[in-house]
Copies of this chain bind each other. A is one copy, B any other.
Amino acid sequence: MRDAAPQGTYKVQALDRAFAVLDLLGESETPLGLAQVASSLQLHKSTAHRFLMVLERHRMVERTSNGKFRLGLRLFDFGNRAIEQYDLRDRAQPHLRRLVAETEETAHLCILEAARVIYLDKIEPARSVRMITRIGASNPVHCTSVGKAILAFLAPERAAEVVRRIRFERLTQRTIATPDALRVEMEKTRRRGYAVDDEELEEGLRCIAVPLLDAQRQPVAAVSISGPSFRVTAQKLPAIANHLLQCVRGISADMGYVSGSRANRTAAWTA
């Protein structure tokens, strides 16, 4: 069914199929008709039809005026509940705004899941080239500044576990391609206190990130600034890093992550 390898000992066919339908609709730029759904997923039209009707009843999909299907707003509801538990996002937003005002570049807030980073929030400066990222989307750890920022400050065992899962796809010329190269990069990141993605995810895009540590000094997220390489120049990195550090310090304080007055000063950049 699509690319989805239904591996894993537990199986509920109906669920795999339903999610394949949602996936398909999510990937598609435009709403799809029943026939398209059925043929893309190799389902019989009556089966696809039944699924779509049930999904529609649950508002997981909705029909456009011409009868085609697209994702429903129930998912939006669920999605927001899902991150509500991480109230990180709400708390971080004002700090990110300030950061964007200071740097005039796009800021992202990300968390780590498996071997990918998920974009929890994005703030764009008033006038800037629109970035391609979408809140909720994800990218591999090894080619993002946020990924490297989190990885570098993770407990060694956990970091190793993450690295093991990386598939090391090459996205640009400069993408880190081996575990060893990544380890070297991690070392560098720890030393200077911030991570850099120098066109490793996308040509012409440079990003810089610092981790956000919780009360136990574990990285729970990372904040980054991204912009075109010609604006985010090597010379500017330290200054931007400073803004980032101030930003995460503010978020930490808001989240109650500061365990004491001393801890306040011993965050990532001195680690």
Determine how many copies of this chain the complex contains.
2
Please tell me which one of the listed residues B50, B79, B85 contacts residue A12 in the complex, with CB atoms under 8 A apart.
Answer: B50
Is A184 an interface position by the 8 A CB rule? no
Known contacts A75-B75, A118-B73, A118-B76; decide if A12 and B51 are in contact (CB<8 Å): yes
Known contacts A70-B85, A80-B136, A81-B71; decide if A18 and B18 are in contact (CB<8 Å): yes
Q: Which residue of B lies closest to A70 (CB)?
A: B85
Known contacts A73-B113, A77-B136, A138-B77; decide if A15 and B55 are in contact (CB<8 Å): yes
Taken residue by residue from 55 to 74, chain A's Cβ proximity to chain B (1 for < 8 Å, 0 otherwise) reads as 10111100000000011110
The complex places the Cα of A79 from the Cα of B118 at a distance, in Å, of: 13
Is A8 an interface position by the 8 A CB rule? yes
Q: Which 6 A-B pairs have the closest CB atoms?
A: A79-B79, A80-B136, A14-B14, A71-B82, A10-B53, A77-B136
- Contact surface of A with B, Cβ cutoff 8 Å: 8-16, 18-19, 22, 26, 31, 49-51, 53-55, 57-60, 70-73, 75-85, 94, 111, 113, 118, 120, 126, 134-138
